[in-house]
Amino acid sequence: MSLLHWVTISPFLFAIIVPILFKYTKRIHTGWFVLILPIVLFAFFLQYLTVTSNGNVVQETVSWVPSLGVNFTVYIDGLSLLFLLLISGIGSLVVLYSIFYLSKNKEKLNNFYVYLLMFMGAMLGVVISDNLIVIYVFWELTSLASSLLISYWFTRKESTYGAIKSMLITVFGGFSMLAGFCLLYVMTGTFSIREIIENVDLVTTSALFLPAMILILLGAFTKSAQFPFHIWLPDAMEAPTPVSAYLHSATMVKAGIYLVARFTPIFGGAAEWFWLLTGFGLLTLIYGSLSAVRQKDLKGILAFSTISQLGLIMSLLGIGSAAIYYADSADPAFFALPIMVAIFHLINHATFKGSLFMAVGIIDHETGSRDIRKLGGLMSIMPITFSISLIGLASMAGLPPFNGFLSKEMFFTSLLRAQEIGTFNVETFGFILLIVAWVASIFTFLYCIIMFSKTFLGTFKPENFKVKVHEAPIGMLISPIILAALVIIFGLFPNILSYSLIEPAMQSILPTLLEPVETFQVKISMWHGFNMELFMTIGVITLGLLFFMLMKKWVNTKFYLGERDPLNWLYDSSYDGVIKGSQAVTRLQMTGLLRDYFAYMIIFMIGLFTYTLIRYDAFSINLTNTSAIDPYMWVILGTMILATLSVPFIQNRMAIVIVVGVIGFLLALVFVVFRAPDLALTQLLIESVTVVLFMIVFYHLPELRKEKSKPRFNVVNLIISAAVGILVTVIAFSSLALGNEAGIEAISQFYIENSKALAGGYNMVNVILVDFRGLDTMLEALVLGIASLGIVVLIKLRMSGREDV
């Protein structure tokens, strides 16, 4: 593997040694050792800035399953590098923050950092991989790792509820996405994103284009908390604040954004792609902002604000996708502006939202509360946290001179330019999109000022807190201070990102439009004069302040008092329905009787095979090429049949063992008649050992208790047994007839011809078991090994009774 491959999986490798570090370095916080990795990764990825800025890419490939076209191909271009720097850069600050946030004496830091590194490695794999199947593997690992992080405090019911909820919703989206990937493979014959883009005409002209698009968007929408799949994100706030700052502001929720951006060259330019992204993005934007106003918990406000901001970015990617439709126009870059704004706001959101999550964590850590009804007056008590929050909230509200103001203004510009799109029926609905975005911005400003005023202004009431409130230690403040500083720097000097990160990422999303590098120069400035965007911002601030001043008139309304998202009832009722349904099925199926389990399995197999035979009209009897049966074979088979039929009627255990042994020995005799001495010898040995063991065991068992079973049991068993016998007979005759009628060569002929050539053995039965079915045999041995380990664990495990406490 190349160095890039090792770098990608390095978090997984480092996670292996974290428990060792935790065990043998009790005096030092484990986070200090973990911090080294993301810092090194960030420094390593920085070297590729010059590569991507010049329009170049880096690609390395390692074969994984080449027969299926699955290779671990790492691919660094402008888009992937942007996310790699976010993952490693924000990851470094989060680890530093967690060192002071999580106590090394009270917390299970080995679990926390293993999960965090697992998530970091999964995110790196998602954004750097070129192969769809590899992306899917890492994608699901992000869901698993995030659920483990959310349930880190697993003794809390809310934590496990949030973890299960996020897992179910995001994994559902992941399965949908995988189905979409498979459809892309059907259309193009490759899992490589690069190759699919090169053969995009095969996709756009296929009847599977729309199904593949919808399935992939389901994966993106669930991961990036788009309406109506957003309901998992607020409950995920039960995770420790470092997790919220990392997963839910900068990385995991941005995975869906990355997926949409990466597939824009494939699906962009289609009306369905445009409206699905734009429509659901703006719906998520306004729904999230309205819901954030209703929250009383600081992390709840930030959770819904994150949902809202993700909707904003998603809508920008949708509007910008129209640039592909106008690829042949005189100025396609005119329509590509929303793509640039989406990338810029993605960076801005990571900075101001990361700082805000950390500030909220500080407030919670030092006061023991996040309830805005209890907080207030913290400006003088926690001045540094106050300053960090002021910068972050002002940026999120879209106020100058912070970076959020710039991307918000350009968001308005993008919607104004969308009015000039002459297709997709934008001329009919474009004005509505602008109004929705403007109204959502008003509520964004409103929840920002509510959060700020209720937390830091007013009178401080120490009686509301169980601890003495004070400013956080400097170590906990370093990370949010750095992020707040970036908010200011990117606001005052935004073009330091233009040519290094934003433009290369744009060229990755719109490769056919923005080549070469000189065709589109990103220029971001604070002042554009007195234009419509500025007047819209003034309107946002004016109406936002008005709503805030009139807050006393609407705080007692049903709208404000209801914090919980009403859409949660759909998830809760569905989840409860699945649980009750599974319990009903379990009660029906798990009777504790082995006989019933076999009956269920056999009935299913009978139905499956019967359907197959009917579906493909495979019932046939043709005895043309069958040989005559010798008289002694009739005697052997007749004796076997009589012995088999007599077993259910025998009441003595020893007699049953003897009769069953007779059946086995007669079967060995059949093998001898058909010239299979090795099989006959094996059968004789196994049957002899089995009979002896059964006789020894049964001899020491208590007397047989006669069971009085209801007649219907015997009838059901008789029907099932007869059905199995008839089905096996029909399948045997039909298989024989198929070969006779169609001239199909028996499958045994293949082994006869290839046992020596392919496997190097003359004993065909042994070769089949060891070589042709080698994987099957290995898995059987693996199952036995697992069962043995399970038995050893059960024998040695000593429960104290407090494991689940």
Secondary structure of 232-279 in HEC code, one letter for each residue: HHHHHHHCCHHHHHHHCCCCHHHHHHHHHHHHHHHHCCCHHHHHHHHH
In a domain? residue 140: no
Mean pLDDT of 89-109: 90
Q: Are 423 and 325 in contact (CB under 8 A)?
A: yes
Range of the domain at 799: 749-805
Residue 702 lies in a domain: no
Residue 532 falls inside a structural domain: yes
Domain C-terminal end among 516, 532, 565: 565
Q: Is the pLDDT of residue 783 over 60?
A: yes
Q: Which of 535, 565, 595 is the last residue of a domain?
A: 565
- Token output for 608: 């499956």
Write out the two tokens for 124.
């790196």
CB 528 within 8 A of CB 409: yes
pLDDT the model gives residue 517:
46
- In 10 A of CB 745, how many CB atoms? 10
Average pLDDT over residues 484-501: 92
Please enumerate, as own/partner, the contacts of 628-634 that have beta carbons within 8 Å and a separation of 24 or more: 632/673, 633/670, 633/673
pLDDT at 107: 81
Q: According to the model, what pLDDT value does residue 435 have?
A: 93
pTM over 0.85: no
Q: What is the pLDDT of residue 229?
A: 93
Please report whether residue 332 resides in a domain. Answer: yes
- In sequence order, the 6+-apart residues with CB closer than 8 A to the CB of 458 are 376, 377
- Domain contains 50: no
The whole-number average pLDDT for the span 632-651 is 87
Of 143, 156, 355, which Cα lies nearest the Cα of 245? Answer: 355
Query: Are 90 and 35 in contact, with CB atoms under 8 Å apart?
Result: no
Least Cα distance to 777 among 759, 757, 754 occurs for: 759
Task: Answer with the one of 517, 544, 565 that is the final residue of a domain.
Answer: 565
Look at residue 331 and tell me if it is in a domain.
Answer: yes
Mean pLDDT of the chain: 88
**Number of domains observed in the structure of the chain:** 2
CB 729 within 8 A of CB 611: no
Query: pLDDT tens, 117-176?
Result: 999 999 999 999 999 999 999 999 999 999 999 999 888 898 999 999 999 999 999 999
CA 142 – CA 119 distance, rounded (Å): 5
* Average pLDDT rounded to a whole number, residues 369-382: 90
Establish if 766 belongs to a structural domain. yes
Q: Is 368 left (phi over 0), alpha (psi -120 to 50) or beta?
A: left
Integer Cα distance of 616 and 624 in angstroms: 22
pLDDT in tens, 569-628: 888 898 899 999 999 988 888 888 888 888 889 999 999 989 988 888 878 777 766 777
Cα–Cα distance, 353 to 313 (Å, whole number): 14
Spell out the alpha helix ranges (H) of 67-131.
78-101, 109-128
Domain assignment of residue 575, yes or no: no
CA–CA distances in Å: residue 532 to residues 140, 438, 547? 44, 12, 22
Can you tell me the distance from the alpha carbon of 337 to that of 513, in angstroms, rounded to the nearest whole number?
Answer: 12
| pLDDT at site 708 | 57
Separation CA 244–CA 97 (nearest Å)? 12
Going by pLDDT thresholds of 50, 70 and 90, the confidence category of residue 395 is: very high
Among the residue ranges 78-92, 205-219, 237-251, 535-549, the one predicted with the least confidence is 237-251
Q: What is the pLDDT of residue 295?
A: 92
